[in-house]
Amino acid sequence: MSTVLDNKPHPRPLVQAGGEPLDVLADFPAIPEGWAYLDTAATAQKPKPVIDAITRAYGETYATVHRGVYQRSADMTLAYEAARRRVATFLNAGSADEIVFVRGATEAINLVARSWGHAHLKAGDRILLSRLEHHSNIVPWQMLRDRTGVEIDVAPLTEDGRIDLDAVERMLTPAHKLVALAHVSNVLGSLLDVRRAADLAHGVGAKLLVDGCQAVPRLAVDVAALDCDFYVFSGHKLYGPTGIGCLWARPELLDAMPPWQGGGSMIDKVTFERTTYAPPPTRFEAGTPHIVGALGLHAAIDYVESIGLSAIHAHETALVRQTRDALRDLNSVTLFGPEDSAGIVSFAVEGVHPHDVGTILDEARVAIRAGHHCAQPLMEALGVPATARASFGVYNGPADVDALVKGIERVRRIFG
Ligand SMILES: Cc1ncc(COP(=O)(O)O)c(C=O)c1O
């Protein structure tokens, strides 16, 4: 009989490094032949092992966690906690207790703002963000500012769209208590030198929070080597389910953080006079968690690691190069972001709104994202209302780039 723990590694004989096609398309049942799915930065398609793990969890092994006195629940608790350990090894965290399951990166950042921010920041303290942040790494800090009187500073970008760490160095003061930056920009694909950002933040006594949403699907992440203080990501961008994500934080930070939501599971003892709380990570996981989401995330991590993040990175880098080289040759196309962007290419076609670009590409069975990408301040800095964005995943190949380029040529013909 299968148990919740028999998450078998997926056999993978076809992996090739060096930017060659990974040949894993057959693992993705929701990608029909001839459909170029270039919106992985929004959400990744799901491989069979993830779908199977979810189906098995709901269809064969389902039960609640952490309170069942019966075997099925005990098994499910083991599987849920095994998923937490899997995330810990994936990020090279010191222990599974440093991993808090949340709904996604948005919730993780709100958790840090609400809990750590409220407990440790006061009027006059400063937070440093950058101009390319996703709204989920802007708005929670503004909400904290409105409640506490902290000030927010915004670091500029370099010409080619990276967070300008020289400017960060000049801007940081001892009043800064937190620096919160994206590891990889969801619009430009620009990659942050996290280690340098950590050194700069720590140099003035600030903590560094890294938004790893777009990094974990395409780069090996080692929180110990990066020396950051908080790291957040969403499972659905990592080929896992929606509704599950993670906050990693240094254990001493988690220990000193008050709960941010109250309810079941996060307590030690409740009386009407006084409630005491469980230690981390449980203190931050009020209510019945997304049990099956955690198991799906476990399968997703197994999946990407069975391919290898260095192979994925090389593969996506080759596709980005092919895309940029082809689009550069089209004289009415503007490319945004640095040449070595990680898996993501934003562009504009002169005289054509990105939504029209997206609609015409859709007719050619090419799915891209068009809009502000939840980064309105970045759009303002780029001087555009929106961009078109192609983003890559393990299932894409050179034929998808060809389809994109042909589709853009058609856009140019239609708009003269
Ligand atoms: C860089 C970045 N940060 C944060 C988020 C928010 O992720 P979620 O909506 O899964 O919480 C996204 C999603 O697009 C993102 O790309």
Q: What is the pLDDT of residues 29-75, one digit of tens each?
A: 999 999 999 999 999 999 999 999 999 999 999 999 987 789 999 99
Q: What is the pLDDT of residue 3?
A: 41
The CA 135 to ligand 1 mean position distance, Å, reads 8
Q: Is the per-residue pLDDT at 126 higher than 90?
A: yes
**Residues 110, 117: Cα–Cα separation, whole Å:** 9
Is residue 280 within 8 A of residue 260, CB to CB? The reply is no
Position with higher pLDDT, 337 vs 3:
337
Long-range contacts, 5-14 (Cβ 8 Å, 24+): 5/75, 5/78, 5/79, 5/82, 7/53, 7/79, 7/82, 7/295, 7/298, 7/299, 7/302, 9/302, 9/306, 10/47, 10/48, 10/49, 10/302, 10/303, 10/306, 12/306, 12/307
Q: Mean pLDDT in the chain?
A: 94
Average pLDDT over residues 365-380: 96
The CA 89 to ligand 1 mean position distance, Å, reads 22
- The two structure tokens encoding residue 183: 């590891």
Nearest Cα neighbor of 111 from 276, 280, 226 is 280
- Percentage of residues of the chain with pLDDT beyond 70: 95
Query: Considering only CA atoms, which residue is closest to atom 16 of ligand 1?
Result: 186
Atom of ligand 1 nearest to the CA of 108: 11
**237, 238, 246, best to mutate for ligand 1 pocket (most atoms within 8 Å of CB):** 237
Average pLDDT over residues 375-380: 96
The residues, ordered by sequence, that sit 6+ positions from 187 with a Cβ below 8 Å of its Cβ are 132, 336, 337, 344, 346, 373, 375, 378, 387, 389
Average pLDDT over residues 320-335: 93
Check pocket membership of 214 for ligand 1, CB cut-off 6 A. Answer: yes
Check pocket membership of 190 for ligand 1, CB cut-off 6 A. Answer: no
Question: Predicted confidence band at 390 (pLDDT cuts at 50, 70, 90)?
Answer: very high
The residues, ordered by sequence, that sit 6+ positions from 67 with a Cβ below 8 Å of its Cβ are 73
Annotated catalytic residues are: 374
The CA 138 to ligand 1 mean position distance, Å, reads 11
Check pocket membership of 184 for ligand 1, CB cut-off 6 A. Answer: no
**Residues 251, 257: Cα–Cα separation, whole Å:** 10
- Percentage of residues of the chain with pLDDT beyond 90: 92
Atom of ligand 1 nearest to the CA of 211: 3
- The two structure tokens encoding residue 173: 């003061």
Q: What is the pLDDT of residue 22?
A: 85
**Residues 123, 379: Cα–Cα separation, whole Å:** 30
Alpha helices by DSSP H, 60-193: 71-91, 105-111, 118-120, 139-148, 165-171
